[in-house]
C-alpha cells in the first residue's frame, strides 16, 4: 500500500505530504515532529486528481488478493472459494448475538468475550506496569535490579505461562487473562521507563528552579512528558495481547474468538475459520488505529 496520508484532496504539493506520512508511521513519539509543517500555498490543478490512484490502489490490492484466493480454491484442495465464504459470512454476521448453550454462541459474543479478556488482562497490566515503569525510570537502583528479570522474561512466548496460570487459577478463563497480563506487562514497563529517562533536563530544571512539590512535578511535568511513550507502550501491548488471546483461547476453550476457530476446525467448517481470521484482523486494526488516534491527541510538537 502507498505510504501516504489520507488528506490529499486539499491539493497540497506532494513533497510535504510524504514528510507527514513518515512521521505518522513512526513508533517512537520523540520522532513525531514533522507534523507542524507550514501550510504551502494552493496551486492550480492541471493533472488528474491525486486522490484517484490513492483510492484505487488498495481496492486493486484487495481485488488481486481475492482473485489469487479464488484461483487457489479452484485448483483443488479443501479451501473454500471467496463467494461461498462471503455467503457464509453474511449468514454468520446476520445473527451475531445468539446463544445456544455454552459452546455455541454468535460471533459477536465470541469477539466481545475475547475483547473482555484482553481488556481485563491488559488493564491489570497497565495498573502494574505503568507505575513500575515510572519507578524503574526514575531510580537507577531499581532499574539495575529489574534489568535481568525483564531481559530474561521478555522474550518468553506468553503461551509458555499458560500451564502455570492453569495450575494457579485451576480454571481456563483466569488463566487466559493472566497470560494477557504477562504479555502486556513488558512493553508498558519498558516504554514508560524509557520515557521517564528521556524527559528533557530543561523541564526538570524548571521544576527545580521553582522548587515544585513532588506531586506537582509528577502531574505537570513527569506525567505529560512520559505520556507519548506510555501510549506507545500501550499500543504495542494491546497488539501483542490481541495476537496472544486467539492462541490462548484455542488452548483453554470456552467462549472466545480463538476457541471459535478451534471449534470450527473440529467441525471442519473452514469457511468460518476464514471469517474468524478476517474478524480478528479487523478488530486488531481497529485497536491499533484507535491507539494511533490517541497518540496523535497527545503529541505536543
Residue 39 binding another protein, by CB under 8 A:
no
Applying CB under 8 A, among 221, 247, 283, 292 the residue interacting with another protein is: 221
Q: How far is the CB of 136 from another protein (least distance, A)?
A: 23
DSSP 245-300: HHHHHHHH-SSSHHHHHHHHHHTT-HHHHHHHHHHHHHHHHHHHHHHHHHHHHT--
Distance CA 67, CA 46 (A): 35
Residue 103 binding another protein, by CB under 8 A:
no
Neighbours of 133 (CB within 10 A): 27
Residue 164 binding another protein, by CB under 8 A:
no
Q: Which is nearer to another protein, 216 or 267 (CB)?
A: 216
Distance CA 226, CA 134 (A): 9
Query: Which residues between 191 and 220 bind another protein (CB under 8 A)?
Result: 202-203, 205-206, 208-212, 216, 220
Distance CA 178, CA 161 (A): 8
Q: Which three cell numbers stand for residue 265?
A: 476446525
Distance CA 129, CA 185 (A): 5
Q: How far is the CB of 226 from another protein (least distance, A)?
A: 11
- Interface mask (CB under 8 A) for another protein, residues 18-37, using x and -? ------------------x-
Q: Report the interface residues with another protein, using CB under 8 A.
A: 36, 202-203, 205-206, 208-212, 216, 220-221, 224-225, 300-301
Amino acid at each position: 500500500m502507498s505510504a501516504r496520508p489520507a488528506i490529499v484532496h486539499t491539493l497540497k504539493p506532494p513533497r510535504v505530504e510524504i514528510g507527514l506520512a513518515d512521521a505518522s508511521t513512526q513508533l517512537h513519539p520523540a520522532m513525531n515532529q514533522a507534523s507542524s509543517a507550514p501550510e504551502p500555498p494552493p496551486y492550480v490543478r492541471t493533472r488528474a486528481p491525486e486522490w484517484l490512484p490513492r483510492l484505487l490502489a488498495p481496492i486493486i490490492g484487495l481485488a488481486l488478493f481475492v482473485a489469487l484466493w479464488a484461483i487457489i480454491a479452484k485448483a483443488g484442495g479443501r479451501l473454500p472459494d471467496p463467494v461461498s465464504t462471503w455467503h457464509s459470512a453474511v449468514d454468520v454476521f446476520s445473527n451475531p448475538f445468539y446463544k445456544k448453550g455454552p459452546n455455541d454462541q454468535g460471533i459477536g459474543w465470541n469477539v466481545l468475550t475475547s475483547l473482555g479478556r484482553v481488556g481485563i488482562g491488559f488493564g491489570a497490566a497497565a495498573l502494574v506496569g505503568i507505575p513500575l515503569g515510572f519507578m524503574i525510570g526514575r531510580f537507577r537502583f531499581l532499574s539495575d535490579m529489574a534489568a535481568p528479570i525483564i531481559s530474561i522474561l521478555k522474550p518468553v512466548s506468553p503461551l509458555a505461562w499458560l500451564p502455570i496460570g492453569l495450575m494457579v487459577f485451576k480454571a481456563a478463563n483466569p488463566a487466559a487473562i493472566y497470560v494477557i497480563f504477562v504479555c502486556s506487562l513488558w512493553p508498558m514497563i519498558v516504554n514508560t521507563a524509557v520515557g521517564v529517562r528521556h524527559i528533557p533536563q530543561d523541564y526538570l530544571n524548571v521544576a527545580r528552579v521553582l522548587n515544585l512539590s513532588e506531586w506537582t512535578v509528577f502531574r505537570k511535568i513527569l506525567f505529560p512528558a512520559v505520556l507519548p511513550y506510555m501510549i506507545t507502550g500501550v499500543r504495542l501491548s494491546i497488539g501483542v495481547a490481541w495476537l496472544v488471546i486467539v492462541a490462548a483461547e484455542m488452548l483453554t476453550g470456552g467462549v472466545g474468538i480463538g476457541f471459535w476457530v478451534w471449534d470450527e476446525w473440529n467441525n471442519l467448517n473452514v469457511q468460518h475459520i476464514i471469517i474468524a481470521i478476517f474478524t480478528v484482523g479487523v478488530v486488531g486494526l481497529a485497536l491499533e488505529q484507535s491507539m494511533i488516534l490517541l497518540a496523535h491527541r497527545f503529541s505536543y510538537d
